Amino acid sequence: MVQKMLFFCLFVCYLGFAQQDAQYTQYMYNTININPAYAGSRGVMSVFGLYRNQWVGMDGAPVTDAFSVNTPLGIRSFGMGVSFVGDRIGPSVSYNSAIDLSYTISLSDSYKMAFGLKGSVQNFTLEASKLNPSNNYDPSLFSIRNTYSTNIGSGLYIHSAKNYVGISIPNIFQTKRYSDNEMVVYQEKYTFYGIGGFVFDITPDIKYKPAFLVKIVQGAPIQCDVSSNVLLYEKFVLGAAWRWNATMSFLTGFQVTDGLYIGYGYDLETTKLNNYNSGSHEIFMRWEWNKKQSRIVSPRFF
């Protein structure tokens, strides 16, 4: 079942032909932000922090900060997570806070399926002082203010010790910012995500995992990321990723201790945009706490 879903999603990727908004290069470690059903799936408390500096050298290029905590609850089969994402793109600044709840059932001895719900609050600001208007006395500039909105999302996540697949809609409702009858400055679109990955044991000391992420935004072309990572001796990760019609990425990571993992990714544009920036950098840290002081059984890839 999982294999069929993976091949279907990869076929959908092939039909996509352009990129939408930038997304995380190391999406396989940052699943909680897009799929609430992931909450608690690793069986331990997981703390995650990420910093992304995109298109270095371009004025107003995106800068993203992400932080999350998710854990299984004492109540059987439930999980919970909280997350915070800050995005700065040109004159716009947005902050999103969310809480995730999941419920897991067993499909078989190997597979589990989790259902998730997300509730979020977003603050969006357009900093008029960073604009260069033709008329500095335009009264509409002085009416711009912070706006808040709430949203809900849902997700489904199927996983075993060796593979996973999931679908989600983090924001079900569309939200318009600074709009009138003729113009919308910013509108949050309906977005669908599909994710999946497999872990193969090449040797006792070498594991290989291909993974994918599909992003479908209402009224826009499909965006697809495909990655390939190798885990060596349960310590070192080396890999590469490809974003359809947009970037090539190089990934690396190191398991510092049983609980602490750090990773780095570098994106190189494959479009004409490469002439105007020196690439994108992404660094993250994941710390996991197991009160039983035993090794985490699930693969460290996800």
Between these two residues, 222 and 12, which has the higher pLDDT value? 222
- Which residues are within 8 A (CB) of 270 and not within 5 positions of it... i.e. 6 or more apart? 245, 246, 247, 248
DSSP designation for 15: H
- Which residues are within 8 A (CB) of 42 and not within 5 positions of it... i.e. 6 or more apart? 70, 288, 296, 298
Check if CATH label 2.40.160.40 holds for domain 27-288.
yes
Write out the E strands in the chain.
45-53, 63-72, 78-89, 92-106, 112-126, 147-159, 163-169, 175-179, 184-188, 191-198, 200-203, 206-217, 223-232, 236-243, 247-255, 260-269, 280-289
* Residue 302 to residues 31, 110, 169, 299, Cα–Cα distance (Å): 8, 16, 20, 6
Q: Region 63-78: what's the mean pLDDT?
A: 90
Between these two residues, 123 and 138, which has the higher pLDDT value? 123
The residue with tokens 């897991």 is 104
* Structural domain spans, the chain: 27-288
Q: Which of 141, 125, 120 is nearest to 88 (CA)?
A: 125
pLDDT above 90 for 223: no
Predicted local confidence at residue 101, as pLDDT: 97
pLDDT tens digits along 278-288: 899 999 999 99
pLDDT above 70 for 251: yes
pLDDT tens digits along 120-134: 998 888 776 666 666
Predicted local confidence at residue 295, as pLDDT: 46
pLDDT tens digits along 144-202: 667 888 999 999 999 998 999 999 999 888 776 555 555 555 566 678 999 999 999 99
Predicted local confidence at residue 38, as pLDDT: 96
Lowest mean pLDDT among 6-10, 62-66, 139-143: 6-10
Q: How confident is the model at residue 294 (pLDDT cuts 50, 70, 90)?
A: very low
Which residues are bridge partners to 211 per DSSP? 197, 227
- Which residues are within 8 A (CB) of 189 and not within 5 positions of it... i.e. 6 or more apart? 174, 217, 218, 219, 220
Between these two residues, 296 and 99, which has the higher pLDDT value? 99
pLDDT above 50 for 21: no
Predicted local confidence at residue 75, as pLDDT: 75
Sign of CA dihedral 194, 86, 93, 121: positive
261-269: long-range contacts, CB 8 A cutoff, minimum separation 24:
261/285, 261/286, 261/287, 261/288, 261/300, 262/286, 263/26, 263/29, 263/237, 265/25, 265/26, 265/241, 267/25, 267/54, 267/243, 269/55
The residue with tokens 């809480």 is 99
Predicted local confidence at residue 7, as pLDDT: 43
Q: What is the mean pLDDT of the chain?
A: 82
Q: How confident is the model at residue 206 (pLDDT cuts 50, 70, 90)?
A: very high
- CA dihedral of 57, 62, 65, 71, whole degrees rounded to 10: -130
